[in-house]
Structure 1
Amino acid sequence: MAYVPVPKDLSKVKTKVVFNLTRRQLLCFAAALTVGLPLFFLLKGGAGTSLAAFAMILVMLPCFLFAMYERHGQPLETVLKNIIRTRFIRPKERPYQTNNFYAALERQRDLEKEVAAIVRGKNKKRKGKA
């Protein structure tokens, strides 16, 4: 009898289109081929086969990384966006700040006491003048 493993977490299952590759992988590989192959044939005559192959690999490598690399279920562009955001855009130190409801109530009570004291002081002055 045939045995087929079924993953317990179905959210990690990706739909395969052709050759057991996802749509994203197919698009990235197609982009790598459309950029890499013409570059190889253009450089092969003047620079030699090995240098042309090396240049083709360097140009195609980012496309392969975008197709295959995944960390914690996030693709490479999301990982890079998070790294850029935390290293360069956001401030280095982000102090933990809370809006303490009880401290706000205490400040309000102190302000009310201060206002009451000012009102009492004005009332005493008025009584003293009269």
Structure 2
Amino acid sequence: MASYISVPRDLSKVKTKVFMNLTKRQILCFGAGALIGVPVFFLLKSSGNLSLAALGMMAVMLPLFFLAMYEKDGQPLEVVAKHFYEAKFKRPKTRPYKTKNYYALLVQQADVEMEVNRIVQNSRKVDSEE
């Protein structure tokens, strides 16, 4: 019996896997999460409450997990967060709709050309009278 392997149509979306089917970004974020989360666990564990220690470790490691795994429309979390910040806080809330009235520009250009023609004709009349 023949077996088939699915091949994605858009090869630009394929990410190179480095180790254990993880990308470099995921390995880096998980490693940083472990470096921060494990000491936090042991520090909170010394207080005696193991459940609190586990919750504290998860709370510290969760942002790094989201940095490693979350993608929206092919963009990682920090890019999505940057766009959200700019849309909500940095840019103005109301954006006035401005258009260029090309008809008005054509009318203005025609008026200028008529004025130039009138000035040229008046200067020709003055030159012919002299």
- Structure-to-structure mapping, 1:22-101, within 5 angstroms: 22-101=23-102
Aligned to 1:20: 21
Secondary structure in structure 2 of the residue aligned to 1:46: coil
Q: Distance in 1 between matches of 2:31 and 2:101?
A: 55
Structure 1 alignment gaps of length 5 or more: 120-130
* CA distance in 1 between partners of 2:52 and 2:91 (Å): 41
TM-score with structure 1 length normalisation? 0.79
Equivalences, count: 119
Unaligned runs of at least 5 residues, structure 2? 120-130
Q: How far is 1:103 from its partner?
A: 2.1
Deviates more, 1:102-111 or 1:13-22: 102-111
Give the deviation of 1:110 after TM superposition.
4.3
Q: Hey, what's the Cα distance between the residues in 2 that align with 1:47 and 1:116?
A: 95
TM-score (norm 2): 0.79
CA RMSD of aligned residues (A): 2.3
